[in-house]
Amino acid sequence: MTSPTESSQWPLLPEDLLHEITKRLLKPSDYVRFGAVCKGWHSFAHKSYKQKHLLHVHQNFPLLLIPTEDQEGRSLYNITEGMVYHQFQLNLPNKRCCGSSYGWLFFVDKVTKSTLELILINPFLGDSKTIKLPPISLNNDDIHDMIDHYEVYKVILSKDPYVSPHDYEVAALYGSLAKLTHYKCGDKYWSYAKKAIGTTLVDVIFYKDLLLTIDRYDWIINFTLEPKARIQRTNCSLWYLKWNTIKKKRPSTIHNYAGNAYFVENSNGDLLLARRCYWDEDLIQAREIALQLNAARIQDIAEGGSEIAFLEEYKKIKESMYMKDEDPKLTVKFEVYRLSFSSDGKRLNKKIRIKTLGGEILFLGDNNSVSVSVSKYPKLHPNSIYYTDDYVHHHNLPFGSIDNGIFDVENESFDKHYFPSFSIKDLPPPIFVVPK
């Protein structure tokens, strides 16, 4: 006897009609009921929900993950509303989040003299959504006796493990030299890059079919996964990361230096490079900035002008706490460039300085960089960069995490979005995350 489903014409409905139906489904339970009709509908519902999930993730603008008032966990802070979502509680040890992609957060789970272990947690999918990665091998170059959660500079995902559980990759910059390592889902071990250049890397991105990194001198490198000629150990990857420089000549002069640099892909698929300059990081840095800014502006900054987002607040803290005359590391400028590469990714065709973001807003930080369209979020400042403190390089300063602000790319002016309480200065810094 045939079932009602088998005898009906429901499985024969064309996909365009099914697509029109699923567009009107709002809740996950709606998809469950839709998929229960027949096997064909179940498969279509699964695919449609994944696509809608991806679209939903990319349409969300980042929220700040901040320490809770009791300093025992983390909450979410909406910068447009000035609101803390107290119903969201992430109960984790007071460790810095070293990466954030697709709602997943990376933390250092365990460090030994020879290994470093990372864990992924997606608090937006429930406590059970945790992925533990294989250990990263350390050597003498990594100064493993000093390494901690601040020595993992950045970790990124190529895809969302929830949507593509068998087809995602991870890239991490770690250790005192910020070396690159790569993991592909299903592998038992990480693949490591041979030493490319004599400076540390500051950012990494999966862009189209490329794995790109950059240092503070705008030295861009494309890494590809290559088979090893010889396997000397049984507990190692069969692959290594081969590097190829994008520029023929390394721009190593003082004028090419920036305090930090970030890759970010905008909504149109263009790759942007944002270079970040600091004030008074040290004497060399101060001279570096003096080459780029006129003396009058430097004097204005030093006297407490409005060129930096929170300079007046910094001074009030210093005065109220009777601190030593030790200046914080403050952002004074961003430069944004649009990049394009050859089809094989071996050449940088164009690097164009831009003074407008074309309707986009950038969210930049060590843990993640995101671009969103201002048309979807009119309360955000257009043509601006929202940034968080580059805390990993100076986490022992008495001010804590305070270099957060909004930078207008066209006018080169600053505004504020969040000023953390001095009481949480010893806790990990606020970071931008894109909720599921």
Residue 216 has pLDDT above 80, yes or no: yes
Residue 351 has pLDDT above 60, yes or no: yes
257, 288, 322 - which closes a domain: 257
Q: Is residue 143 part of a domain?
A: yes
Q: Whole-number mean pLDDT of the chain?
A: 78
Tell me what pLDDT residue 392 has: 55
257, 276, 301 - which closes a domain: 257
Residue 99, strand partner residues: 106
Tell me what pLDDT residue 28 has: 63
Confidence of residue 139 (pLDDT cuts 50, 70, 90): confident
Higher-confidence position of 29 and 159: 159
Q: Which of 34-43, 322-331, 413-422 has the lowest mean pLDDT?
A: 322-331
Mean pLDDT for 160-178 is 90
What's the number of domains the chain is made of? 3
275 plus 366 within the same structural domain: yes
| 90 within 8 A of 422, measured Cβ to Cβ | no
324 plus 195 within the same structural domain: no
23 plus 142 within the same structural domain: no
47 plus 121 within the same structural domain: no
172 plus 230 within the same structural domain: yes
**CA angle, residues 55, 58, 59, in degrees to nearest 5:** 85
* Amino acid present at 124: F
Residue 59 has pLDDT above 70, yes or no: no
Q: Is residue 241 part of a domain?
A: yes
- For the ranges 13-27, 52-66, 172-186, the one whose mean pLDDT is highest: 172-186
132 plus 249 within the same structural domain: yes
Tell me what pLDDT residue 203 has: 95
265 plus 388 within the same structural domain: yes
Helix, strand, coil % in the chain, rounded to nearest 5: 20, 35, 45
Confidence of residue 416 (pLDDT cuts 50, 70, 90): confident
Tell me what pLDDT residue 1 has: 43
Structure pTM?
0.77
* Amino acid present at 122: N
29 plus 159 within the same structural domain: no
Mean pLDDT for 55-62 is 58
Q: Is residue 388 part of a domain?
A: yes
* Amino acid present at 187: D
136 plus 159 within the same structural domain: yes
389 plus 409 within the same structural domain: yes
Mean pLDDT for 405-430 is 83
Q: Is residue 432 part of a domain?
A: no
Q: Is residue 63 part of a domain?
A: no
Q: Is residue 68 part of a domain?
A: no
39 plus 120 within the same structural domain: no
Higher-confidence position of 141 and 388: 388
119 plus 231 within the same structural domain: yes
Tell me what pLDDT residue 169 has: 96
Q: Is residue 138 part of a domain?
A: yes
Residue 339 has pLDDT above 90, yes or no: yes
Q: Is residue 436 part of a domain?
A: no
Q: Which domain holds residue 284?
A: 259-427
Higher-confidence position of 76 and 31: 76
Q: Is 172 exposed, middle or buried (0-12, 13-18, 19+ CB in 10 A)?
A: buried
State the greatest distance between any 2 C-alpha atoms of the chain, in Å, as a whole number: 89
Tell me what pLDDT residue 198 has: 64
257, 280, 311 - which closes a domain: 257
